[in-house]
Amino acid sequence: MLDFLWNLGSFIIALGILITAHEYGHFWVARRCGVKVERFSIGFGKAIWRKVGADGTEYVVAMIPLGGYVKMLDERVEEVPEALKSQAFNRKSVWQRIAIVGAGPMANFVFAIFALYIMYLIGVPSLKPIIESTQASTPAAVIQVNKPMQVIAVGDRKVRNWEEVTYALVGHIGDENIDITLAPMSGLMGEERQYRLDTSNWKFDPEKQSPITSLGLGVYRPEITPVLGLVSDDGAAKAAGMQVGDTLVAINQQPYRDWDDFVAQIKASANKAISITVRRDGEQINLSVTPGQREGVDGQLEGVIGVAPTQAPWPEEMRLQLEYGFGESFVVAADKTWQLVVVSIKMIGKLFTGDVSVKNLSGPISIAQGAGSSANYGLVYFLGFLALISVNLGIINLLPLPVLDGGHLLYYFIEVITGRPVPEKVQEIGFRFGAAMLLMLMSIALFNDFSRL
């Protein structure tokens, strides 16, 4: 229940910030173009707070925090007094209308830069992208790793941490091959080597694995100890009496060898009782555990008990603090925002080409979970989450669906070309089509959200 409330609260805060940024973009440009703004509302439905400013605009916070709007004076909506007609939206030039409508999505991109700017000023603890092995029969099998190597570039994009590697790889989904450049940990010049991975048959499910592991790259991890660092409250291990701090001694009367072997035996024992011996306070305890089940990457059922081990600290030379000065932070934030824009546009394109399944669409439930998780990790991670969602909100609103900003912009650009507005009947048909398309996409996203619960 507490997790639900935390996720909900984080979601409302995140959505409120992003909607305010988007609507303020419309509001600010509309005022600069001489349009009278009657209401600036964050949320829909009954107002829980309202105030009329000195500019005559009514500022409102409403009960349903799932959107917002800027109500402008418009003769197409209501009768406008003769004295105010010059301030009506529909009386403005087509280029002014384009500027007002496009300002919302642009504000989302500007906000993303701002959020990332603050994030980089504060500093982001990160890890260098080090691999220590590759998996046979995967695209990465062509890479021979004899010692830990650092990924320094994916394609022509330099990367500094695993997040950047992930975004770069996602942008190559559907490509025939991916170039990955590695360098030794020693950092000696001239030792970089580029590998071309054949990804013509590369498929992965984002819900079950990352693009990194699905390619066959073995991520470096510090030594894993047999001491349990996590026991899930709703897992089979907790039900059987296992506790944080227990040391694994044996499984099915066979001595514990390593974590990978332990996981393999658990996965092979879905719904089958097994014996696990642990050491606690100097005493060995035998426990009977019946692993639950979940669907594995290959679609087969595998066992799971809800535990995680402890591991040695990360070596200092593998840690990375992404922190910059006042000027450089802006440059890095702008570049990062551009990366997010490019990756997001590519992903939308791959949805239409079939390279990415519609099962990967996420709705408000997934966004709420992401908001809660990022907020739980701290301010810098929440800022990164806000930037990502803000970019996606801006791009989605630019899609040429008539109910979105992009649909209005499409009509206005047609007006620029033809010299006259798109007929009202055509616009109405377009709005109905756009609403149906948007409803379908939202339904798919919600269905995906519920299927993940």
pLDDT of residue 113: 96
Quote the crossing angle between the two packed helices 94-122 and 379-397, to the nearest 10°: 160
Is 197:142 a contact under the CB 8 Å cutoff?
A: yes
Given this chain, do its domains 126-222+313-322 and 224-311 carry the same CATH topology?
yes
CATH superfamily assigned to domain 126-222+313-322: PDZ domain (2.30.42.10)
DSSP per-residue codes, 237-255: HHHHT--TTPEEEEETTEE
Please name the residue that has the structure tokens 């694995």. 209
- All residue ranges of the chain with pLDDT < 50 are none
Please name the residue that has the structure tokens 């050491």. 279
Q: How far apart are CA 251 and CA 231, in angstroms?
A: 17
Is 123:146 a contact under the CB 8 Å cutoff?
A: no
Active site residues: 23
C-alpha distance from residue 142 to each of 156, 312, 388, 433 (Å): 19, 30, 33, 48
CATH of domain 224-311: 2.30.42.10
Question: What tokens appear for 331 in the block?
Answer: 């440059």
Residue whose C-alpha is closest to residue 215's, from 230, 204, 200, 231: 204
The SS3 assignment for 428 reads helix
pLDDT of residue 223: 85
Question: What tokens appear for 392 in the block?
Answer: 């996606």
Quote the crossing angle between the two packed helices 94-122 and 326-353, to the nearest 10°: 120
pTM across the whole model: 0.78
The SS3 assignment for 41 reads strand
Q: How far apart are CA 62 and CA 13, in angstroms?
A: 14
The SS3 assignment for 126 reads strand
The SS3 assignment for 323 reads coil
Output the CA torsion sign for 73, 78, 81, 82.
positive
pLDDT of residue 365: 64
pLDDT tens digits, one per residue of 213-248: 888 888 888 888 899 999 988 889 999 999 999 999
DSSP per-residue codes, 61-80: EEEEEEEEEEEE--TTTS--
Per-domain residue ranges for the chain?
A: 95-123+323-453, 126-222+313-322, 224-311
pLDDT of residue 208: 66
